[in-house]
Amino acid sequence: MKQKSANPIQKAIEEGQVRVARAVLSWKYRKEGRPSPGDRRLDEDARKVTAEVRKVVVRGGKTVWNEFRNIYEKQKGKKEDPGE
């Protein structure tokens, strides 16, 4: 599942993320004493991990944004109703 990058900078960032994921996966295999899968499989797994991380970050970002919005709405309501 390849996605087209919007620009060369974004593509470079995404490739850097995949390289980091690949390094972490390689380290994990060594630490566990397991043989590392082939380069192709390692790249595929690194891309899958990176895609999942992006999804989690996006969901988390939306949650944080919703919390900020809720707090803002509560504060706005308090300022408009000085009787509370």
Instruction: Confirm whether 2 is domain-assigned.
Output: no
Is 42 inside a domain boundary?
Answer: yes
Helical axes 39-80 vs 8-32, angle rounded to 10°: 120
Q: Is the pTM of this model over 0.85?
A: no
Residue 1 in domain: no
Structural domain contains residue 3? no
Alpha carbon distance 12, 52 (integer Å):
18
Query: What's the total number of domains in the chain?
Result: 1
* Domain annotation covers residue 51: yes
Which comes out higher in pLDDT, residue 75 or 10? 10
pLDDT higher for 19 or 62? 19
Q: pLDDT band for 22, please (50, 70, 90 cuts).
A: very high
